[in-house]
A = this chain, B = another copy of it.
Amino acid sequence: MTTPKRRLPVMADVAKEAGVSHQTVSRVLNDHPNVRADTRARVEAAITRLGYRRNLVARALVTKRSRTLGVVSFDTKLYGPASTIYGIEQAARTAGYFISIVSLKSLDTASVREAIDYLAEQGVDGVVVVAPQRSAARALVKLPSGLPVVAVEGTHNADVSVVCIDQLEGAKLAVRHLLQLGHETVWHVRGPSDWLEAEGRLEGWRAALEEAGRPVPEPLAGDWSPHAGYEAGKSLAAMGGVTAVFTANDQMALGVLRALSEEGVRVPGRISVVGFDDIPESEFFSPPLTTVRQDFDVVGRHCIEVLLRQIDVGHTAYERLVIRPSFVVRSSTAPVR
């Protein structure tokens, strides 16, 4: 009971229709120069007449280039990964590549390896791994068969090219801003310990405090969620003596703001708060959040650049591209009273 759908036209059909060989059709399709103008026109007419579309699968088989790039990511619902993937997709499409996405629930080494293998089997020309966790970064050490790979936020590991945002610098911007406002020191609500970004921000925070010769308080644990920020905010309010907090991301900062508000602690009157990411909502928090801005689109674009370079010129040296974050001052920070 199969559908009587006539099969789609192939090159040979177009060739017959235009009265040329399939090779000439191929030349027309690939903008080969050596085709007479009227022949080209005839072929093009035949193509539109038949509604012919070239079969990229067949093409990929012989050229060994699928013009598809794989992306392995974690929780693509989050603003950061989603934005990065958006940037990747835009850049890839401009360069004539497709994007095949695998979104993992856990970034353990095995899952990442499996995902990469899976994509390799599908014939992707290269893979971008959005690997912000230590475990994911570990999965990239001994990779299979010369598949070009670029990591976003990978470790300093030299086994793969990396594009990342300078987390250390971002954190320092935040802390220095607060110190300049006269705060004696700055508390920190950190991200989960297996995340490289959390690590970098923590280090940057610590380094900036030490550079200024200030005491380094115990960081508060967090897991990026607003809820974790909320809990941390409650603790901070209870501590007393806290005047400035650097939160490892904006969502947690939101939780902190909420908790402080509930506890009747004015921001920035009593406590100044700085976030990280600059999600679109931050500008409208109560109060609008001073934060470190990461340009995820740029990260995505650079990934594709690096990856395509690796694909095109073969295995060059591994690159490491560090993007500087910027700082956005809004109303959640103020000079200490």
Query: Which of A51, A55, A286, A314 is the most central at the interface, judged by chain B CB atoms within 10 Å of its CB?
Result: A286
The proximity string for A residues 245-274 relative to B, scoring 1 for CB distances below 8 Å and 0 otherwise, is 000000100110110010000000000000
Partner of A51, one of B57, B144, B258, B284: B144
User: In the complex this chain forms, how many copies of it are found?
Assistant: 2
Given contacts A57-B66, A82-B77, A117-B53, contact A101 B102 (CB under 8 A): no
Tell me the chain A residues, 195-229 only, with Cβ under 8 Å from chain B: 225-227, 229
Q: Does A318 contact B (CB under 8 A)?
A: no
Tell me the chain A residues, 281-337 only, with Cβ under 8 Å from chain B: 281, 283-286, 288, 314-315
Q: Return chain B residues, CB-CB under 8 Å to A261.
A: 286
Tell me the chain A residues, 83-102 only, with Cβ under 8 Å from chain B: 83, 85-86, 89-90, 93, 98-102
Distance in angstroms from A328 CB to nearest chain B CB is: 15
Given contacts A100-B68, A280-B251, contact A82 B76 (CB under 8 A): yes
Interchain CB contact under 8 A, A58 and B61:
yes
The proximity string for A residues 47-59 relative to B, scoring 1 for CB distances below 8 Å and 0 otherwise, is 0000101111110
Given contacts A89-B103, A284-B258, contact A315 B3 (CB under 8 A): yes
Q: Does A181 contact B (CB under 8 A)?
A: no
Taking CB as reference atom, which chain B residue is nearest A144? Answer: B51
Q: Return chain B residues, CB-CB under 8 Å to A99.
A: 100-101
Q: Does A230 contact B (CB under 8 A)?
A: yes
Taking CB as reference atom, which chain B residue is nearest A81? Answer: B82
A335 to B56 alpha-carbon distance, docked (Å): 61
Q: Return chain B residues, CB-CB under 8 Å to A281.
A: 226, 251, 254, 281
Interchain CB contact under 8 A, B76 and A89:
yes
Taking CB as reference atom, which chain B residue is nearest A3? Answer: B314
Taking CB as reference atom, which chain B residue is nearest A314? Answer: B3
Q: Does A122 contact B (CB under 8 A)?
A: yes
Interchain CB contact under 8 A, B61 and A90:
no
Q: Give the number of chain A interface residues (Cβ < 8 Å).
A: 61
Distance in angstroms from A277 CB to nearest chain B CB is: 12
Distance in angstroms from A312 CB to nearest chain B CB is: 12
> Which 5 pairs between the two chains have the least Cβ-Cβ distance?
A226-B284, A82-B82, A57-B123, A258-B284, A286-B286
> Would you mind naming 27 contact pairs between A and B with Cβ atoms under 8 Å apart?
A3-B315, A51-B145, A53-B117, A56-B122, A56-B123, A57-B57, A57-B61, A68-B100, A68-B122, A76-B86, A77-B79, A77-B82, A77-B83, A77-B86, A82-B82, A85-B101, A86-B103, A89-B102, A93-B102, A98-B122, A99-B101, A100-B101, A226-B280, A226-B281, A226-B284, A257-B286, A258-B286
Q: Which A residues have a C-beta under 8 Å from some C-beta of B?
A: 2-3, 5, 8, 51, 53-58, 60-61, 66, 68, 75-77, 79, 82-83, 85-86, 89-90, 93, 98-103, 105, 117, 120-123, 144-146, 225-227, 229-230, 251, 254-255, 257-258, 261, 280-281, 283-286, 288, 314-315
